[in-house]
């Protein structure tokens, strides 16, 4: 089922004397979610992710804008008539009911022509339970399950009616790290298997990047960028998006363009032909550095962190906007942890320029960063 959001806006009126100003939780959000895809809605806490999801589910009414499922305008439909499945962070299971009864619950409320026989209900509940691999636990109560198992029950309950759209709001946040990893793979598998159009809300960029067909990055109610995860990582439209994606995070420097060359402090690090003289923010991905004895970027070494697969070289540079610069290099690299300075060359595709005032990326088509010809 294709989902279309058309100029979706949600304002919450300001309350009380102190905060009289309206909160615009979602601001003019337009997007077409293709049938059968998994979309990751990503952004820091308070950016409007849950509000967006609740507008799609019908739990909230938009201040303006329309929502379509396929060809149907569902904007004025109550949640129960939209054909959605909802999963929240805190499972929201009925504690006094067994797993089976929890999963059956949505089916028991079906009315009229949708009514099912007892056998049909049990069959559907069994199918949903098998999909999330909890069919062995049907007689337990939520209190007798681990967090991961409870969340599976919640997912089975959301799936049992075969919703047109599945909405997940930070479903993994209550799980420990290993289980989070495992459950997100499960969600991806189930989504592929069922082909249900799914919107997955998270503040965790790695989570969103790893399972989404496309991600939507939000800030302060406003969509910043939509694209395939790799595309957004490789071509961020602004400094916010560049900073939000990637671990370790992108390194930010205050730089200057002078006569077609990019300077970080006094180091002329790249050629930037065609860019007019100006101050810029420069983002360099941790993997954008290469150790080079006579490299143009001269840093002061602070330490070396071994990460197994590679090494993180931690250093300082006068033009860095952060106390530490982190460069990821291969384990074969010989960095003397005692050494005073390290020098790098930069990989131009991993370096982004941003306008100093707007923090908008300086358009890549117009910029051909190159290694300095010396
Ligand atoms: P997220 O899920 O991304 O953390 P939310 O969608 O919950 O963010 O909230 C977005 C903004 O809207 C926040 O500033 C929040 O305080 C505000 N907000 C959310 N719900 C309400 C509400 N019912 N009344 C007033 N403000 C709200
Ligand atoms: Mg939220």
pLDDT at 155: 93
What is each CA distance from 85 to 11, 80, 210, in whole angstroms?
Answer: 25, 10, 22
Residue 114 has what pLDDT? 85
Strand runs labelled E in 107-220:
165-169, 197-202, 214-219
* Location of each CATH 3.40.50.300 domain in the chain: 3-237
Residues enclosing ligand 1, CB less than 6 A?
A: 12, 23, 25, 43, 45-51
- Name the helix (H) or strand (E) containing 263: strand 261-264
- Cα maximum dimension of the chain: 80
Given this model, what pLDDT does residue 111 score? Answer: 82
Nearest C-alpha to atom 17 of ligand 1 is from which residue?
Answer: 25
Q: Which atom of ligand 1 is nearest to the CA of 60?
A: 23
Q: Which pLDDT belongs to residue 20? A: 76
| Ligand nearest to C-alpha 48 | 1
The pLDDT value given to residue 374? 60
- DSSP helix, strand, coil percent of the chain (3-state; round to 5): 25, 35, 40
User: What pLDDT, on a 0 to 100 scale, did the predictor assign at position 107?
Assistant: 93
- Would you say the C-alpha torsion 44, 45, 49, 51 has a positive or negative sign? negative
Counting from 1 in the atom list of ligand 1, the atom nearest the Cα of 43 is 3
With vertex at residue 246, the alpha carbon angle to CA 235 and CA 284, rounded to the nearest 5 degrees, is: 60
State the average pLDDT over residues 16-42. Answer: 91
- What's 360's DSSP letter? B
Nearest ligand for residue 25 CA: 1
Mean per-residue pLDDT, 202-230: 96
The CATH number of the domain covering residues in 3-237: 3.40.50.300
Transcribe 275-292 into DSSP letters: PPSEEEEEEE-GGGEEE-
Residues in the chain: 374
Contact 73, 67 (CB under 8 A): yes
Q: In which band, very low, low, confident or very high, does the pLDDT at 365 lie, cut at 50, 70 and 90?
A: low
Alpha carbon of 43 to ligand 2 centroid (Å): 10
Q: Which of 14-23, 90-99, 335-344 has the highest mean pLDDT?
A: 90-99
- Report the nearest-CA residue for atom 7 of ligand 1: 50
The answer to whether 42 and 243 have CB atoms below 8 angstroms apart is no
Site to probe by mutation for ligand 1, drawn from 48, 49, 168, 203 as the one with most ligand atoms within 8 Å of Cβ, is 48
Rounded Cα distance between 273 and 265, Å, is 19
Strands (E), 109-247: 165-169, 197-202, 214-219, 222-227
Per-residue pLDDT tens digits for 221-254: 999 999 999 999 999 999 999 999 999 999 999 9
Element (H, E) at 341: strand 341-346
**What's the mean pLDDT when you consider all of the chain?**
93
How far away, in angstroms, is 51 Cα from ligand 1 center? 6
Which ligand 1 atom sits closest to the C-alpha of 44? 3
Please report how many Cα atoms fall inside a 13 Å half-sphere around the Cα of residue 349, on the Cβ side: 4
Its pTM stands at 0.92
Question: pLDDT tens for residues 323-358?
Answer: 999 999 988 887 877 779 999 999 999 999 999 999
Q: What is the percentage of the chain residues whose pLDDT exceeds 70?
A: 98
Nearest protein Cα to ligand 1, atom 27: 12
* CB distance 289 to 344 below 8 Å: yes
- Report the separation in Å between the CA atom of 103 and the middle of ligand 1, taken as the mean of its atom positions: 29
Name which residue sits closest to atom 24 of ligand 1, judged by CA: 12
Phi-psi category of residue 255: left, alpha or beta, with phi > 0 → left and psi -120 to 50 → alpha? beta
Q: Does position 92 have pLDDT exceeding 90, yes or no? A: no
Ligand 2 mean position to 219 CA, how many Å?
Answer: 13
CB atoms within 10 A of CB 297: 25
pLDDT at residue 15 tops 60: yes
Looking at residues 80-93, what average pLDDT do you find? 91
Report CA 269 to chain centroid distance, whole Å: 31
Query: Atom 23 of ligand 1 has which residue's CA nearest to it?
Result: 12
Pocket-testing residue among 10, 11, 12, ligand 1, by greatest number of atoms within 8 A of Cβ: 12
Distance 24 CA to ligand 1 centre (A): 9
Looking at residue 332, its pLDDT comes to 83
């Amino acid at each position: 089922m294709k989902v279309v959001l058309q100029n979706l806006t949600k304002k919450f009126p300001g309350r009380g004397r102190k905060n009289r100003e309206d909160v615009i939780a979602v601001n003019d959000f337009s997007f077409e979610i293709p049938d059968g895809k998994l979309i990751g809605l990503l952004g820091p806490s308070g950016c409007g992710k849950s509000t967006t999801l609740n507008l799609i589910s019908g739990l909230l009414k938009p201040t303006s804008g329309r929502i379509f499922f396929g060809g149907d305008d569902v904007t004025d439909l109550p949640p129960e008539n939209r054909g959605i499945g909802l999963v929240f962070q805190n499972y929201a299971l009925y504690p006094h009911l067994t797993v089976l009864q929890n999963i059956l619950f949505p089916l028991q409320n079906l009315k009229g022509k949708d009514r099912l026989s007892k056998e049909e209900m049990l069959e559907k509940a069994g199918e949903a339970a098998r999909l999330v691999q909890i069919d062995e636990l049907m007689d337990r109560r939520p209190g007798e399950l681990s967090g991961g198992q409870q969340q599976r029950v919640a997912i089975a309950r959301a799936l049992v009616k075969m919703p047109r759209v599945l909405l997940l709001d930070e479903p993994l946040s209550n799980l420990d790290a290993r289980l989070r990893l495992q459950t997100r793979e499960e969600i991806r598998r189930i989504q592929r298997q069922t082909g249900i159009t799914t919107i997955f809300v998270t503040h965790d960029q790695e989570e969103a990047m790893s399972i989404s067909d496309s991600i939507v990055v939000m800030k302060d109610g406003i969509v910043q960028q939509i694209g395939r995860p790799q595309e957004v990582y490789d071509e961020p439209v602004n400094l916010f998006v560049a900073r939000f994606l990637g671990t370790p995070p992108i390194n930010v420097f205050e730089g200057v363009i002078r006569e077609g060359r990019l300077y970080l402090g006094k180091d002329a690090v790249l050629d930037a032909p065609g860019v007019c003289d100006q101050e810029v923010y420069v983002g360099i991905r941790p993997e954008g550095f290469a150790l080079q004895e006579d490299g143009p970027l001269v840093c002061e070494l602070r330490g070396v962190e071994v990460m197994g697969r590679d090494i993180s070289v931690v250093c300082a540079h006068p033009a860095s906007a952060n106390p530490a610069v982190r460069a990821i290099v291969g384990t074969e690299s010989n960095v003397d942890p005692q050494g005073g300075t390290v020098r790098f060359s930069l990989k131009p595709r991993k370096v982004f320029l941003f306008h100093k005032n707007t923090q908008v990326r300086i358009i890549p088509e117009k910029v051909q960063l190159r290694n300095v010809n010396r």
